[in-house]
């Protein structure tokens, strides 16, 4: 008996995968990216932006599709923020999220972003104990999370920790000003660095940049203070609620695109209303299923 072609033998031909099957077909390989002008954003590109008086954009991303979309939209830096805690995992604050929860999100973002620099937040409790702990956690995010750099919420007190991480080959972004992981120590969400307190932030930024941080991120800082910090250090700065004198800007994507409901912080600009779009799509789908309108012959084999 002749051996039949296995594809003839199959009951039905193969169809496109109905669910996600990895980064969807851009057809772009790692080597294509390396060859393309405007390939992977590297730390030195952020430095160049500061030197040239240019700006770059950073958004959070927590999974494959948003990472792909933002990457293709040309967002230079993707942050796998510990804001996943209260944007993915359903917690009230960023405090409960763990290294083991963030690592798979980070891997998904890093695998999906062909051009963006991927920065991972080290979650609360994973770097404060010692420089050794910070190096060990940073290594996990580069090795297991495939991140290109990490971010930690710090003050000048952590300069030696930053130095040890940088020495170990871990690029560090230093987050100063309002640091959400210290929400309880800071007495809630409060603007930092007003008036004379600006000197404290300038001192923090200088100490952290001296220790090797490649970038300083400032959250909820008066624009004048942020400008003074930016002028005091040679590395690029990123702002969130810190005015427009910083080299880069960052927003949490679910705020920026209108996925989250509720009161937004003053510094959030909503560029879309994804929540309404998704809600209307889900409502219509539900109605069509209940009425028997879906699936029609068009969607039936
Ligand atoms: O986790 C996060 O999303 C952040 C941004 C607010 C900068 O740290």
- pLDDT by residue for the chain (301 residues), tens digit each? 334 444 444 456 656 655 554 555 444 443 444 433 558 999 999 999 999 999 999 999 999 999 999 999 999 999 999 999 999 999 999 999 999 999 999 999 999 999 999 999 999 999 999 999 999 999 999 999 999 999 999 999 999 999 999 999 999 999 999 999 999 999 999 999 999 999 999 999 999 999 999 999 999 999 999 999 999 999 999 999 999 999 999 999 999 999 999 999 999 999 999 999 999 999 999 999 999 999 999 999 9
Is 182 in contact with 150 (CB distance < 8 Å)?
no
Whose tokens are 């999370």? That residue is: 145
Using the mean position of ligand 1's atoms as its centre, give its distance from the Cα of residue 4 in Å: 57
Question: Model's pTM, two decimal places?
Answer: 0.89
Strands (E), 4-136: 56-60, 77-80, 117-121
- 264-271 — which CB contacts under 8 Å span 24+ positions? 265/189, 265/220, 265/241, 266/241, 267/220, 267/240, 267/241, 267/242
Residue 24 CB: number of other CB atoms within 10 A?
12
Q: Write the residue with the smallest CA distance to atom 6 of ligand 1.
A: 252
Ligand 1 binding residues, C-beta < 6 A: 60, 79, 81-83, 121, 175, 217, 219, 240, 250, 252
Catalytic residues, which ones? 219
């Amino acid at each position: 008996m002749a051996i039949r072609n296995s594809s003839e033998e199959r009951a039905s031909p193969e169809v496109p995968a109905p669910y996600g099957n990895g980064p969807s077909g851009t057809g772009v390989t790692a080597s294509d990216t390396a060859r393309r002008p405007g390939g992977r954003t590297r730390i030195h590109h952020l430095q160049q932006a500061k030197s040239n008086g240019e700006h770059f954009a950073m958004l959070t991303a927590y999974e494959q599709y948003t990472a792909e979309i933002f990457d293709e939209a040309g967002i230079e830096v993707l942050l796998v923020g510990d804001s996943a805690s209260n944007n993915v995992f359903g917690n009230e604050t960023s405090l409960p999220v763990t290294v083991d929860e963030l690592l798979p999100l980070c891997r998904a973002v890093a695998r999906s972003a062909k051009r963006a620099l991927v920065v991972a937040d080290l979650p609360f409790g994973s770097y404060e104990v010692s420089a050794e702990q910070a190096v060990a956690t940073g290594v996990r995010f580069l090795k297991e999370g495939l991140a290109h750099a990490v971010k930690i919420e710090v003050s000048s007190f952590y300069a030696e920790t930053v130095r040890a991480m940088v020495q170990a080959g871990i690029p560090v972004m230093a987050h100063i000003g309002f640091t959400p992981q210290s929400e309880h120590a800071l007495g809630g969400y409060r603007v930092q660095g007003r008036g004379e307190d600006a000197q404290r932030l300038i001192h923090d930024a200088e100490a952290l940049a001296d220790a090797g941080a490649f970038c300083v991120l400032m959250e909820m800082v008066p624009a004048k203070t942020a400008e003074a910090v930016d002028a005091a250090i040679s590395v690029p700065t990123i702002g969130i609620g810190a005015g427009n004198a910083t080299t880069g800007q960052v927003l949490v994507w679910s705020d920026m695109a209108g996925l989250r409901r509720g009161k937004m912080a003053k510094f959030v600009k909503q560029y879309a209303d994804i929540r309404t779009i998704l809600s209307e799509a889900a409502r219509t789908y539900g109605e069509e299923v209940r009425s028997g309108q879906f699936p029609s012959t068009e969607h039936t084999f």
